[in-house]
């Protein structure tokens, strides 16, 4: 695909969840589809007819087994945040239909115990997980998502360790 073709593509509607524990540490999962270090927060697409909050709670359940009763929604970004995929990735992801993602981010506090986080799901996203601080999160995310993660961390900074 040419740069002009990619620029003409829409963004994929998406949500992201910054899940924090009682100490203000952030949930980070190592993506299962790569051997390279690629830690990220739970995120995923918004289904047709689904609002962002419902999608965020669904993604938590699907990706890490955390149900709505185990979280408290503390905040959300006032507007969606967008990022572009590297051009060489665009044709391989989502059948080349999107240039990147436009994400509504939610900050949620995890009210459960670590044993209630279960990444062994029917369609697993993560091979392992850990709680980390904001600086570690920025160092662990793939470079093309770093700028959006900086915005999310800035938006929710007052709640973080």
Q: What is the pLDDT of residues 31-57, one digit of tens each?
A: 998 888 899 999 999 999 999 999 999
Residue 5, CA distances (Å) to 1, 81, 88, 93, 146 in order: 6, 22, 12, 15, 24
pTM of the model: 0.94
pLDDT per position as a tens digit, 115-141? 999 999 999 999 999 999 999 999 999
User: What is the overall mean pLDDT for the chain?
Assistant: 95
Are the beta carbons of 96 and 49 closer than 8 angstroms? no
Length of the chain: 161
The whole-number pLDDT of residue 37 equals 86
């Amino acid at each position: 695909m040419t740069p002009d073709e990619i620029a003409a593509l829409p963004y994929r509607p998406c949500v992201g969840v910054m899940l924090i524990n009682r100490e203000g540490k952030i949930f980070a999962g190592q993506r299962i589809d790569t051997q390279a270090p690629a830690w990220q927060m739970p995120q995923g697409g918004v289904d047709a007819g689904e609002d962002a909050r419902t999608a965020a709670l669904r993604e938590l359940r699907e990706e890490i087994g955390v149900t709505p009763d185990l979280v408290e929604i503390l905040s959300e970004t006032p507007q969606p945040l967008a990022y572009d995929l590297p051009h060489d990735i665009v044709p391989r992801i989502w059948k080349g239909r999107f240039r990147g993602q436009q994400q509504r981010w939610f900050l949620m506090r995890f009210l459960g115990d670590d044993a209630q986080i279960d990444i062994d799901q029917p369609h697993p996203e993560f091979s392992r997980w850990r709680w980390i601080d904001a600086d570690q999160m920025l160092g662990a995310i793939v470079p093309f998502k770093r700028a959006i993660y900086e915005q999310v961390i800035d938006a929710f900074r007052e709640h973080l360790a």
